[in-house]
Amino acid sequence: MIEVKELTKIYKSRKSGNCTALDHISFTLPDKGFIFVIGKSGSGKTTLLSLLGGLDTITSGEIIENGRHIEKFGLNEQVYYRNSTIGFIFQDFHLIDDLTIYENIKFALELQGEGEEEKVKKALADTDLADYGNRYPKELSGGQKQRVAIARALVKRPSIILADEPTGNLDSKTTAQILDLLKELSKEKLVVIVSHNLSDAQHYADEIIELSDGKILQHIKRNERFDARLRLEKDTLIIPSGEAFSEENLRQVEKEIAERPPKKLRQDEERFDPIEIRGGVYSKFRPSL
């Protein structure tokens, strides 16, 4: 679990003045699950990820990861945390061009003080790259390179994966493959992803945090009971909120209505529920991007 309390990040600059990138934000994240951080450019998404990952210093507030206060870490603890707890994935892959795929992944382990062949092979297999170990990054497609980056993050067995717009440079089919893979990983790990894509968030996210000007606009959680179908149950026609129905779904319900006209109409629950924190409730999901 990660608890973030009143987290603030101010970039100080003599030339351009101070910039408040995160402004007293608080939230809690579970041990596993797929968390989407969305928001306009400049809203503080990358800053939030780099603070969660111990890549940058916190101006004020607290980040508590499984009881450990990240903001109180000394340099050694911070390096250890980054290397053992966190796996990073970036938009532009950050692979080393002169190393093969196998060597790129092994390199991550050596930084950690280990270099076991089995671990590298498992990471390659887990990302469907078993046959690609001897290739070089320039011989791979964008989606394959991103899978290498995921393998490199996984090989260290992190409990938290942080991904900053990992599909920003990929086409929609490859994007779906990468998100499917991250979704699978999120069954055992916490995966926090920054995304610009609202429909990806709606489709994949267990939780969505929307940032705006360094503040949380909304923090919502998937409603597991939600059913997107328009449907007739006994004498009640149930309409899910804010959904577009498929042709097939509509035809089916039209047929049922003709056979037994409904007596009542009910608006069903929504796809996402707001998360309550500290007495406040974030608003219901409304696409604002």
Interface residues toward ligand ADP, by CB under 6 A = 11, 13, 19, 21, 39, 41-47
Which of Mg ion, ligand ADP, none has residue 255 at its interface (CB below 5 to 8 Å by kind)?
none
Short-list 193, 194, 272, 44, CA closest to 282 = 272
Q: Are 209 and 236 in contact (CB under 8 A)?
A: no
Element (H, E) at 142: helix 142-154
Binding flag, residue 47, Mg ion (CB under 5 A): no
Minimal distance, residue 196 CB to ligand ADP, in Å = 9
Which of Mg ion, ligand ADP, none has residue 43 at its interface (CB below 5 to 8 Å by kind)?
ligand ADP
Minimal distance, residue 53 CB to ligand ADP, in Å = 13
Position among 7, 37, 46, 63 found at the interface with Mg ion (CB under 5 A): 46
Minimal distance, residue 101 CB to ligand ADP, in Å = 28
Q: What is the DSSP letter of 132?
A: G
Give the tokens for residue 62.
């607290």
> 159 vs 212, which CB is nearer to ligand ADP?
212
Judged on CB neighbours under 10 Å (0-12, 13-18, 19+), 64 is middle
> 127 vs 197, which CB is nearer to ligand ADP?
197
Contact region with Mg ion (CB under 5 A), list: 37-45, 181-189, 225-233, 270-278:
37-45
Minimal distance, residue 163 CB to Mg ion, in Å = 12
C-alpha distances (whole Å) from 175 to each of 96, 115, 147, 169 are 22, 30, 11, 9
Report how far residue 130's alpha carbon sits from residue 58's, in angstroms, rounded to the nearest whole number. 39
What length is written for the chain?
289
Contact region with Mg ion (CB under 5 A), list: 40-48, 63-71, 95-103, 182-190:
40-48
Minimal distance, residue 90 CB to Mg ion, in Å = 10
> 6 vs 180, which CB is nearer to ligand ADP?
6
Minimal distance, residue 287 CB to ligand ADP, in Å = 17
Q: Are 36 and 205 in contact (CB under 8 A)?
A: yes
Element (H, E) at 252: helix 247-259
> 41 vs 199, which CB is nearer to ligand ADP?
41
SS3 115: coil
Where on the chain is the footprint of Mg ion (CB under 5 A)? 45-46
